[in-house]
Amino acid sequence: MGIKKFNPTTPGQRFLNAPDYSEVTTDRPEKSLTQRISRTGGRNNTGKMTMRYIGGGHRKIYRLIDFKRNKDGVPGKIATVEYDPNRTAFIALVHYADGEKRYILAPSGIQVGQSILSGEKATPDVGNAMMLKDMPMGTIVHNIELRPGQGGKLARSAGAYAQLTARDGKYAILKMPSGETRMVLSTCIATVGTVSNAEHNKETLGKAGRNRWRGIRPRVRGVAMNPVDHPMGGGEGRASGGHPRSRKGLLAKGRKTRKPKNQSNKHIIERRKK
């Protein structure tokens, strides 16, 4: 898939870079695998605004995605590759041999009509899901489980992937998209390949209105507020605002937020680069 540029016939199209959706084969989702998703507008159950700058936006339908890939031993065929408004990656509709239909995260390079398989009989081909212990070293994977049977949690966004670099006892060692090296149980399931829509990071919205379509309202800078509204507000003229901090006064830009007694620390071999 590529990114297409537009002739500047309007101010909004002058800097617009949008995907050409050449991989997408249909714009109609499978009705049995969709459900209604309601918007909160940033309000909680009492109607109080708890998250600012959220509201409006186009209506969405949620697609039920199979992150567990637990249809073991049943071959499936890719029927369509579709756009999903709820994530950056594309999704693929799979028709299984027993008649069941499921959505999966579409790997990069997947084609309509291609067969996929999960379980012990699967081979390390793109789109197949298998345990990390059955994969050869150096395999590129995505949609990785953290606990067996939990469903994929890691490397799920557009263009993301991890690499199986080694094994140590009951653990597999993965190089994560962030650069972190961590251990994951070898009995966890992952999908072979890279997540589709890798050029998502090259997209530009072109105009503020496209952010409003996504349900994102204008964000006010803290230094533009009054002192009563933000710790960085106030001052004569265009004051710097002092050290960057949140509305609650918590320091930003450099303050460590990870808990030193986090249970998963023992599984992290090398932290991500700052």
Q: What is the pLDDT of residue 1?
A: 66
Q: In 3-state terms, what secondary structure has residue 201?
A: helix
Q: Is the confidence at residue 164, as pLDDT, over 90?
A: yes
Q: Is the confidence at residue 253, as pLDDT, over 90?
A: no
Q: Is the confidence at residue 274, as pLDDT, over 80?
A: no
The answer to whether 142 and 191 have CB atoms below 8 angstroms apart is yes
Distance of alpha carbon 119 from its chain centroid, rounded?
24
d(CA 180, CA 182): 6
Q: pTM for the complete prediction?
A: 0.91
43: exposed, middle or buried (Cβ count in 10 Å: 0-12, 13-18, 19+): middle
Among residues 118, 163, 160, the alpha carbon closest in space to that of 138 is found at 163
Annotated domain spans of the chain: 3-201
H/E element, 69: none
pLDDT tens digit sequence for 194-244: 999 999 999 999 999 999 999 999 999 999 999 999 999 999 999 999 999
pLDDT tens digit sequence for 54-81: 999 999 999 999 999 999 999 999 999 9
Q: What is the pLDDT of residue 103?
A: 98
Residues 6+ apart with CB under 8 A from 210: 12
The answer to whether 184 and 146 have CB atoms below 8 angstroms apart is yes
The two structure tokens encoding residue 65? 């995605």
When pLDDT is averaged across residues 35-59 and rounded to a whole number, the result is 95
Q: What is the pLDDT of residue 150?
A: 96
When pLDDT is averaged across residues 244-252 and rounded to a whole number, the result is 91
Q: Is the confidence at residue 116, as pLDDT, over 70?
A: yes
Lowest-confidence region among 71-85, 168-182, 214-228, 249-263: 249-263
d(CA 205, CA 200): 11
d(CA 253, CA 237): 24
Fold of 3-201: OB fold (Dihydrolipoamide Acetyltransferase, E2P) (2.40.50)
The answer to whether 133 and 189 have CB atoms below 8 angstroms apart is no
